[in-house]
């Protein structure tokens, strides 16, 4: 009797581990475009590297059956116990299948393992969370989920067989069986924590190579999700590399005290100090769309504008990898975080400084235009709390214009802005932010491809480029052109080309400042990131930028010159003296060139950022 119960638990545990092991080469095969450089030998290396984490996750999933077996020693209703076990096995089969499928499908787009990010998107707007998914993908995913869940259920049912209870057990047998099962339950905590060493199981436990993609394949997706949930709000204890005094000293080395001479900057760049400001946020654009920046001829209209009577910053970087991280970087000068999003907490997001609040105090009226749902990722709460008086979203457009999954397309968006510009008080300067959406996957736009083999995303980028260019050209034809300052920047790193595996190359984006109010033009090679836009606008208008702790004026020659950027599990920093890309989960540099102190400075920057976030 004892042996049969123990065998059931062992068989179940081994069966779950086997499922996770088999899923690793399947994950790599489905994402074959990413893993085309690997072979069968790499599959076995990945399975071996992730084995301990798979054992850890299997231990978590086996605890309940162990406890159920203990209870079953002392109750007479064994059929109920058996039914509960089967229901439990069906539930975990579904969860295993769901986490694997979500992880596999999202990895193509995001390039990181499953975490709480999809949960955040789904909770704020379920409709938009699935907006990037085509109908066939949804149907295919649903069918795959049903098939995979069924296969896992059948496998676990086969592994466990009939629940081995004796209808008339002896007292001694009950006690011995219970003791053995308790010991077995306690023993499960060994693989849970990753062994007997000081270090407990964490994501870096599966890292075994310099190839980040292979490391990701080794990571168990359910463990990754659980780990993310457990550490989501614990920002105060994350990334404590140094004591506070040492972290501050390293941070100050990057951000030495400066006193910008804003008057000099103004005379060099603007015709007046209170122009109307148009901040246009370009969905998923990157430098790779601009031929003058070494990319392809895709955003031809904006490329022409950038190189004619405009300021083009060609050494500029996206702070993070998704819109909910990029928007605060642009509008609040607040860097994106690798493990969380400040927008997840409405209270924290509301405490951030912002360009809108700064300009409102300077006499501006602030408006935000977006063709999609502004409630997605708590964005509307953030915008309202940081100074925008008018927030236009999808429900402000007629149903006939909400043609895409993300709401109104960019053409309708700019038409609405043009129409409402006439209603604004001409005696009051306006700050108008326009966020595009048509160049977001699934890239469905009302434009024909320029060639039969043109990728959908290229067509979508060309469409948004034409919409923005048309808006700027129309503004150029009005009397207000000489009083207009236009700032164009992508919301995060680009969706094209696919397959970039270098964090720096991914993050390179253009910053374009144009408009009739601009009194200078040319290329600016200063290193900067989205977080620097706030201080740069403040400098242009002779306003105090001290509230933007992580922002620097790109037009002040005395300001620090560097860019910090992050993604899930990685941070990067580029300075005039070197650059580094650091893998936080493996706790080692992926790439390091030049300045040997960057490994410490980049980590201190991240520590200061999370300390600041925890204090809000």
So where are the chain's domains?
2-232, 267-332+341-546
Tell me which fold the domain 267-332+341-546 belongs to. Alkaline Phosphatase, subunit A (3.40.720)
pTM of the model: 0.78
State the DSSP code for 148. Answer: H
Rounded to 5 degrees, what are φ and ψ at 497?
-75, 155
Task: Spell out the alpha helix ranges (H) of 498-552.
Answer: 503-507, 533-540
| Residue-level pLDDT at 1 | 43
**pLDDT band at residue 568 using 50, 70 and 90 as cut-offs:** confident
pLDDT of 601 > 90? The answer is yes
Q: What are residue 581's DSSP bridge partners?
A: 572, 591
**pLDDT band at residue 121 using 50, 70 and 90 as cut-offs:** low
| Residue-level pLDDT at 417 | 97
Average pLDDT over residues 58-63: 95
Residue 35: closest CA among 222, 225, 212: 212
Mean model confidence pLDDT for the chain: 88
| Residue-level pLDDT at 397 | 94
Q: What is the C-alpha to C-alpha distance for residues 319 and 322, in angstroms, rounded to an integer?
A: 9
Average pLDDT over residues 14-38: 94
The three-state secondary structure class of 251 is helix
3-state helix, strand, coil in the chain (%, to 5): 50, 10, 35
Average pLDDT over residues 29-35: 90
Query: Is the separation of the CB atoms in 601 and 252 below 8 Å?
Result: no
Average pLDDT over residues 474-481: 95
Q: Which residue has the higher pLDDT, 225 or 531?
A: 531
| Residue-level pLDDT at 222 | 94
**pLDDT band at residue 343 using 50, 70 and 90 as cut-offs:** confident
**pLDDT band at residue 199 using 50, 70 and 90 as cut-offs:** low
Rounded to 5 degrees, what are φ and ψ at 556?
-100, 115
Do the strands 578-583 and 588-594 form a parallel or antiparallel pair, or are they unpaired? antiparallel
Query: Is the separation of the CB atoms in 573 and 559 below 8 Å?
Result: no
Q: What is the C-alpha to C-alpha distance for residues 414 and 401, in angstroms, rounded to an integer?
A: 12
Q: How far is CA 285 from CA 168, 303, 448, 492, 496, in A?
A: 71, 12, 19, 7, 8
């Amino acid at each position: 009797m004892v042996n049969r119960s123990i065998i059931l638990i062992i068989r179940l545990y081994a069966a779950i581990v086997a499922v996770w092991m088999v899923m690793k080469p399947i994950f790599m095969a489905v994402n074959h475009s990413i893993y085309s450089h690997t072979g069968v030998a790499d599959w076995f290396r990945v399975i071996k590297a992730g084995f301990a984490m798979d054992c850890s996750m299997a231990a978590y999933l086996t605890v309940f059956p162990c406890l159920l077996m203990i209870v079953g020693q002392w109750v007479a209703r064994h059929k109920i116990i058996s039914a509960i076990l089967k229901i439990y096995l069906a539930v975990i089969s579904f969860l295993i299948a769901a986490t694997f499928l979500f992880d596999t499908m999202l990895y193509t787009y995001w390039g990181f393992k499953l975490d709480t990010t999809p949960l955040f998107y789904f909770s704020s707007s379920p409709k938009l969370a699935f907006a990037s998914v085509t109908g066939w993908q949804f149907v295919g995913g649903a069918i795959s989920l049903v098939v995979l869940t069924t296969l896992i259920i059948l496998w676990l049912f086969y592994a466990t067989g009939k629940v081995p209870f004796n209808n008339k057990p002896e007292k001694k047998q009950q006690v011995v069986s219970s003791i053995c099962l308790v010991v077995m339950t306690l023993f499960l905590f060994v693989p849970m924590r990753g062994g007997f060493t000081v270090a407990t199981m964490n994501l870096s436990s599966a890292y075994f190579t310099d190839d980040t993609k292979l490391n990701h394949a080794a990571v168990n997706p359910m463990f990754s999700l659980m780990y993310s949930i457990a550490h989501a709000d614990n920002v105060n204890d994350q990334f404590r590399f140094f004591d506070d005094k040492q972290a501050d000293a390293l941070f100050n080395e990057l951000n030495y005290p400066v006193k910008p001479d804003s008057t000099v900057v103004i005379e060099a760049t603007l015709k007046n100090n209170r122009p109307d400001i148009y901040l246009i946020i370009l969905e998923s654009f990157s430098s790779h769309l601009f031929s003058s920046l070494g990319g392809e001829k895709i955003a031809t209209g904006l490329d022409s504008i950038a190189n004619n009577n405009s300021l083009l910053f060609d050494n500029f970087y996206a702070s993070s990898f998704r819109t909910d991280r990029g928007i605060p970087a642009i509008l609040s000068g607040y860097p994106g975080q690798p493990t969380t999003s400040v927008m997840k907490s409405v209270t924290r997001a509301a405490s951030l400084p912002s360009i809108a609040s700064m300009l409102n105090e300077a006499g501006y009226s602030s408006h935000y235009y977006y063709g999609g749902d502004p409630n997605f990722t708590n964005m509307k709460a953030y915008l309202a709390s940081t100074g925008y008086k008018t927030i236009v979203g999808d429900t402000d457009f007629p149903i006939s214009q909400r043609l895409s999954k993300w709401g109104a397309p960019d053409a309708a968006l700019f038409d609405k802005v043009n129409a409402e510009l006439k209603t604004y008080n001409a005696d009051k300067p306006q700050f108008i932010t326009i966020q595009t959406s048509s160049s977001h996957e699934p890239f469905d736009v009302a434009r024909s491809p320029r060639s039969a083999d043109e990728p959908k995303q290229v067509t979508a980028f060309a469409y948004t480029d034409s919409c923005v260019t048309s808006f700027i050209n129309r503004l150029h034809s009005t009397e207000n052109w000489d009083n207009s300052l236009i700032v164009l920047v992508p919301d995060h790193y680009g969706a094209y080309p696919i397959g970039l595996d270098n964090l720096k190359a991914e993050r390179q984006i253009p910053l374009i400042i144009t408009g009739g109010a601009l009194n200078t033009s040319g290329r600016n090679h200063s290193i900067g990131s989205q977080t620097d836009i706030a201080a740069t606008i403040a400098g242009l208008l002779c306003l105090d930028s001290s509230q933007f702790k992580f922002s620097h004026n790109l037009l002040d020659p005395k300001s620090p010159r560097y860019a910090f950027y992050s993604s899930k599990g990685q941070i990067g920093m580029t300075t005039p003296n070197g650059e580094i890309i650091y893998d936080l989960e493996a706790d080692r540099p992926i790439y390091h060139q030049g300045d040997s102190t960057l490994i410490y400075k980049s980590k201190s920057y991240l520590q200061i950022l999370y300390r600041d976030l925890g204090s809000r």
